[in-house]
Chains A and B, each alone.
Chain A
Amino acid sequence: MTTRPPDREGARTTLQKLLSRFHFGITLFAVALSGITILLAGITTLRSYADHNIELAARLGAYGAEPALVFNDPQAAREGLEPLMRLPGIARLRLLDDRGHPLYQWTSPRGDPAPLLTRLFFPHPFAATVQRNGSVIGRIEVWGDSSTLIDYVRIGALAGLGCLLITALGTIILARRFEYELVKPLGEIATVAHDVRLHRRFDKRVQSLGIVELDRLGGDINALLDELQGWQGTMESENALLAHRASHDMLTAMPNRAAFDEQLRQRIQTAQAKERRFALLFIDADNFKAANDNHGHAAGDAVLVALSERIKDTLRKGDFAARIGGDEFIVIIDPLDGAIDPRELADRIRAGASQPVALPGGQHYRLGISVGAAVYPDDGADARTLLTAADAAMYADKLVKRPT
């Protein structure tokens, strides 16, 4: 189970970064699109304004230069055209008389900032005829330059840069907000999943997150956890059942031979450590085979259950009883103090067992048992010796009864 921080891997990225990149891309696209659109629309509009401006300038020039043409006077032409020379965006002026000879020419002392743009936008001069009382007396030609356009483009580029800055800022803020709104709930889900996996906290649940998709995910995780919790419970109870079955006898629900061996080992250890005594009673039903044969297996089972119940009834707290074979039972009487005589206990059990047992068929059966006792450490210090001693004592008891 290797746990590695998720953001150490180069190829992966956080959701916030992803969102941030996404936002920036979209916003940049939108800003660029609108910016270019506005810029193009602006240039088109400005160009038409510039055309208009030059046309108006030509008209104004035609009006102002009219007397100069009438009197054929270059000086007057200069004076008449002077207002035009102060206008921005006019590169060159030319006044022609009725024969097409230039009367006056002027070129702006301000250099053209972008000759290429000028050629592109103002390839031809704007010309206006000068008329006097209906007859053409001359012509004025006006060339525009791109200075106003350049200004506009410069301002547009600056504004675009500003927009880009605002975009970047907005994207960061938006991504932060997204992190709060989206990444935090996801983190909560991850925390729950992590807790469940690491600490087996199947009772943990994802809280409502306020986002439909995430709530659906959380609901699914919760349902999964419900199932896991159910499985866990079932498994635990089944494990307990299996463990019980492994150590207990099915018929009488008493501990079986394996459980007894373990119990005896522990009791010996304890008694050894604390220097205590305990007794072992070996109980065997007399003629059980005959009862089985005569009355059937169901009756035999009923007799065994009855016997086990009676044995249990005689037990004190701390004592232990087990069924170690077909009709063989063992009782550990622990601790064994001076007040208790194993023989007396054996007699008590014998007396309890001798009460008639009601068989399934309605008959009654009187069971006889043989009991042998062994005492630790008097009769043996280990399990085998103790068992052998108890077994021998039980046999002796059985032999005593045989003749009768």
Chain B
Amino acid sequence: MIVIVDYGMGNLRSVEKAIASIGASSLISNDPDAISKADKLVIPGVGAFGDCMNNIRAYGIEDAVKQFIAKGRPTIGICVGMQMLFEGGDENPGVKGLGLMKGSVKGFDHEQLAGKGLKIPHMGWNTVKQGKKSFLFEGIKDKSYFYFVHSYYPAPLDDITIGTTDYGIDFTSVVQKDNVVATQFHPEKSQKNGLRLLSNFINYRG
């Protein structure tokens, strides 16, 4: 069973329906037991990094998620769900992330972006440059469009970046560490390309 981690943040229905449209079924759950027994885990996330982390702790599912990923089980993090995999971030400096990937989450530089006429949040459709081959990109053309909405981006310390996006700077928009993948964009809101990416994850035999 594919389990969508529910920790009281955001629009889980979209992710669930996107997975259903691919022909798979999923379970939205905040039960540590269901999370541990899942075949695959989806960690969505919208809102502030600190709120998401505080909620995942308040729901008592931090350990279950961490253990699942530590075992190398297939997991996808989406948007703030990606950011949470890192150690911490600029948005809420006092709040620790899950720390499963080395590095932190940085904020776009207002002045730097304003100088280039770019707004914050980075909102809309932008391209992903595929830096490395991955099962996640199967059947998706290089520089395809995906839907983004965020003001912070992950800065990994390890060599796990497989996709980058240009918004004033080239930032990491897709990471892969063995069976764990994550996207800064919303595949569930990215029409055809997004559904293909989710389908690649769903059908992945890791």
Q: Do A and B bind each other?
A: no
